[in-house]
């Protein structure tokens, strides 16, 4: 017999619903958060049943309702982080120190460090090791108020190791309240053993990795790092075209260090997103607009590699693009899971308004993962993923930085017990 469990969240200084048209938000819509002052929300099982003012919602609550007293805090949707490299072994604090001493991210990578050093460690790790680390990362995400992440493979670069990482992603998703959307990133770097014959590696990705991972039902999206000295536009095209034929959605690391046709490729193939875009031109933005490609901006990776060149977020919003912001959590360029840090950077460095940044980190991100109908806003029928923040006004989320302010996190209507994830 199924028992209906209900939850009343009340006394919210602001219930930030982000209710609006059922599609990614553009232009002035990105500033409309549909905030309900003195708000309340009723949850039934894992879904949102009603949102409104306290006066409207409290009378609707059944007698045995569990009450969550928000004590005048902001309540908002859980963050949707649409670009993460969730699973990797070890870390690169050694390279971090080298960068502090003046080496660049690319110099380290050209010397055999960078992604390749994480690949060596990830290959040596067992699936169970990766699940254990993934659970730790999941706790970091959840404790910052993130309830869904896109999670890329890409530190295995052999058929078995990529499969191992993707299975670990699934296991983390099942074992924790963090919802993971799996992306295959076999074309993340040319592995050491293929250095002199990169096209053979591309063939391995296309002919062996993709068919096996699709057959094992492990992936939903495919990504490729399209960049000078990594994968060229024709190589990326080969990988992404094959992925599309297998029915996967497409994402692409584009224009991070150099601008060389990756965005045009994304537009041509109808990719869901083009990510990074620090070097993107106005012309490329127009192509993204025409093709419906969403930009995913990753300011924490610009900050952490010590660059000053942030993506032109304002120009993108003016071009009518439904901008997304994400952490790019990874051990090299962006060792953070903090979406509030990303909000801070989006506002201070890319001159987004706090409202625009919040839209980019929730509902627009959800649409970029084909989940806009289920998550990313607090609307009746959607999954009850929400967060109580120690703030009275949503702008404080982007304003204070480096301070943990998550009072409580709920995923699918259940409070996340962060201690239990340790």
Residues that bind ligand NIG (CB under 6 A): 85, 114-115, 118, 225, 253, 256, 301, 328, 330-334
Ranked by CB distance to ligand NIG, the top (closest) residue is 332
Nearer to Fe ion (CB atom), residue 7 or residue 298: 298
Neighbours of 398 (CB within 10 A): 24
List the end-to-end C-alpha distance of the chain, in Å, as a whole number: 33
- For residues 162 and 328, which CB has a smaller minimum distance to Fe ion in the complex? 328
| CA of residue 352 relative to chain centroid, distance | 18
A 10 A CB-CB count for 21 gives 10
Closer residue to Fe ion (CB): 104 or 406: 104
Q: Shortest Cβ distance from residue 82 to ligand NIG (Å)?
A: 12
Among the residue ranges 41-49, 197-205, 324-332, 409-417, the one whose residues contact Fe ion (CB under 5 A): 324-332
- Per CB under 5 A, 328 contacts Fe ion: yes
Query: With respect to ligand NIG, which residue has the nearer C-beta, 105 or 386?
Result: 105
Minimum CB separation from ligand NIG for residue 103, in Å?
A: 14
Applying CB under 5 A, which part among 135-143, 159-167, 184-192, 327-335 lies near Fe ion? Answer: 327-335
Interface with Fe ion: number of residues (CB under 5 A): 1
- When CB distances are held under 5 to 8 angstroms depending on the partner's kind, the choice from Fe ion, ligand NIG, none that residue 332 binds is ligand NIG
Q: How far is the CB of 251 from ligand NIG (least distance, A)?
A: 11
DSSP, residue by residue, 248-280: -EEEEEESSS--SSHHHHHHHHT-SEEEE-TT-
**Which listed range, 112-120, 137-145, 309-317, 321-329, lies at the site for Fe ion (CB under 5 A)?**
321-329
In whole angstroms, the minimum distance from the beta carbon of 184 to ligand NIG comes to 14
Minimal distance, residue 385 CB to ligand NIG, in Å = 25
Contact 252, 273 (CB under 8 A): yes
Tell me the HSE value of 232 on the side-chain side, using a 13 A CA sphere: 5
- Closest residue to bound Fe ion by CB: 328
Q: Residue 30 CB, nearest distance to ligand NIG (Å)?
A: 24
Residue among 191 and 331 whose Cβ is closer to ligand NIG = 331
Helices (H), 4-83: 54-57
Contacted entry of Fe ion, ligand NIG, none for residue 114, CB cut-off 5 to 8 Å set by kind = ligand NIG
In angstroms and rounded to an integer, the radius of gyration of the C-alpha atoms of the chain is: 21
Please report, for residues 27, 140, 348, 395, the alpha-carbon distance to residue 344 in angstroms, rounded to integers and kept in the order given.
20, 18, 6, 10
Which residues, including other chains, have CB under 8 Å from residue 382's CB and lie 6 or more apart?
A: 47, 48, 373, 374, 375, 376
- Greatest Cα-to-Cα distance within the chain, rounded to the nearest angstrom: 70
Pairing type for strands 294-297 and 324-325 reads: parallel
Nearer Cβ to Fe ion (42/277)? 277
* Nearest distance in Å: CB 328, Fe ion: 4
d(CA 234, CA 260): 11
Residues that bind Fe ion (CB under 5 A): 328
């Amino acid at each position: 017999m199924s028992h209906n469990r209900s939850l009343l969240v009340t006394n919210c200084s602001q219930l930030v619903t982000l209710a609006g048209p059922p599609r990614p938000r553009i232009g002035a819509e990105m500033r409309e958060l549909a905030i309900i002052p003195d708000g309340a929300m009723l949850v039934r099982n894992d879904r949102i049943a009603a949102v409104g003012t306290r006066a409207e919602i409290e009378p609707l609550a059944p007698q045995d309702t569990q009450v969550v007293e928000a004590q005048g805090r902001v309540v908002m949707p859980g963050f949707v982080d649409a670009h993460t490299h969730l699973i990797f072994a070890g870390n690169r604090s050694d390279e971090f120190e080298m960068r502090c001493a003046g080496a660049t991210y690319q110099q380290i990578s050209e010397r055999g460090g960078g992604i390749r050093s994480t690949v060596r460690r990830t290959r040596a790790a067992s699936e169970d090791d990766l699940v254990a680390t993934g659970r730790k990362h999941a706790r970091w995400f959840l404790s910052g108020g993130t309830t869904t992440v896109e999670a890329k493979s890409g530190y295995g670069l052999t058929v078995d190791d990529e499969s191992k990482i993707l299975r670990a992603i699934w296991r983390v998703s099942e074992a924790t309240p963090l919802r993971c959307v799996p992306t295959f990133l076999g074309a993340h770097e040319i592995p050491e053993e293929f250095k002199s014959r990169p096209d053979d590696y591309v063939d391995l990705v296309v002919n062996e990795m993709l068919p096996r991972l699709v057959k094992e039902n492990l992936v939903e999206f495919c990504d490729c790092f399209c960049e000078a000295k990594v994968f060229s536009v024709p190589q990326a095209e080969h990988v992404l075209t094959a992925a599309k034929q297998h029915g996967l959605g497409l994402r692409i690391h584009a224009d991070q260090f150099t601008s060389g046709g990756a965005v045009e490729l994304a537009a041509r193939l109808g990719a869901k997103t083009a990510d990074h875009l620090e070097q993107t031109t106005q012309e490329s933005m127009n192509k993204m607009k025409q093709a419906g490609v969403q930009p995913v901006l990753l300011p924490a990776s610009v900050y952490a590699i010590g660059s000053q060149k942030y993506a032109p977020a304002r120009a993108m919003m003016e071009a009518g693009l439904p901008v997304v912001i994400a952490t790019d959590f990874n051990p090299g360029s962006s060792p953070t899971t903090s979406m509030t840090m990303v909000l801070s950077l989006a506002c201070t460095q890319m001159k987004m308004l706090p409202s625009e940044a919040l839209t980019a980190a929730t509902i627009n991100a959800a649409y970029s993962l084909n989940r806009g109908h289920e998550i990313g806003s607090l609307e009746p029928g959607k999954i009850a993923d929400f967060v109580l923040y120690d703030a009275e006004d949503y702008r404080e989320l982007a304003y204070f930085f480096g301070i943990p302010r998550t009072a409580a996190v709920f995923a699918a209507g259940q409070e996340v017990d962060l201690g239990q994830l340790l």
